Amino acid sequence: MSSQPKHDIFQAIADPTRRQLLRLLADKELPVTVISKHFPMSRTAVSKHLRILSEAGLVGEQKVGREKRYRLQAEPLIELKQWLSFYERFWENKISMLKHFVENEETADRKLVTSDRNKRESEE
């Protein structure tokens, strides 16, 4: 039902306020009124940030009575991890990479550029 990335993950986490929101909602389930007390902005502004996070699938909503509680949904961050995994070798094996790079610059390109982007399994 939820967690369908209409919004870009990278863009969703680009904003520091939204990162704080994720942090706050990591282990708690809170309504907007409570959340907005932690931030120096209006409820509406917080609500909009939550909407963006929601559209990115990073937070889930649950209606409890007349309040709507938000909670972290970390799964979409896997995409970020996958993206990042490509670059890990560049700092982990930096010395060997550099050596390899100097040795055969041209051919090394192809091998590294080939990316196997795992298609994610169909979530509902």
Partner DNA sequence: GTTGCATTTAATCTTTTAATTATAAAATTC
Partner DNA sequence: GAATTTTATAATTAAAAGATTAAATGCAAC
Instruction: Name the site residues for DNA (rule: CB under 7 A).
Output: 11, 14-15, 17, 31-34, 40-45, 47-52, 61, 63, 65-69, 117
Helix (H) / strand (E) element for 64: namely: strand 59-64
The pair of three-digit structure tokens given for residue 2, joined into one six-digit string: 């939820």
Q: Do the Cβ atoms of 73 and 62 come closer than 8 Å?
A: no
Count the alpha carbons within 13 Å of 77 in the hemisphere toward its beta carbon: 11
| Cβ proximity to DNA, 17 vs 96, nearer residue | 17
Which of a copy of itself, DNA, none is residue 81 near (CB under 5 to 8 Å by kind)?
A: a copy of itself
The pair of three-digit structure tokens given for residue 24, joined into one six-digit string: 């706050």
Site for a copy of itself in 55-74 (CB under 8 A): 69, 72, 74
* Interatomic CA distance for residues 13 and 21, integer angstroms: 10
Give residues in contact with a copy of itself (CB under 8 A): 8, 10-11, 13-14, 16, 19, 22-23, 26-31, 34, 37, 69, 72, 74-75, 77-78, 80-81, 83-84, 86-88, 90-91, 101, 105, 108-109, 112-113, 116
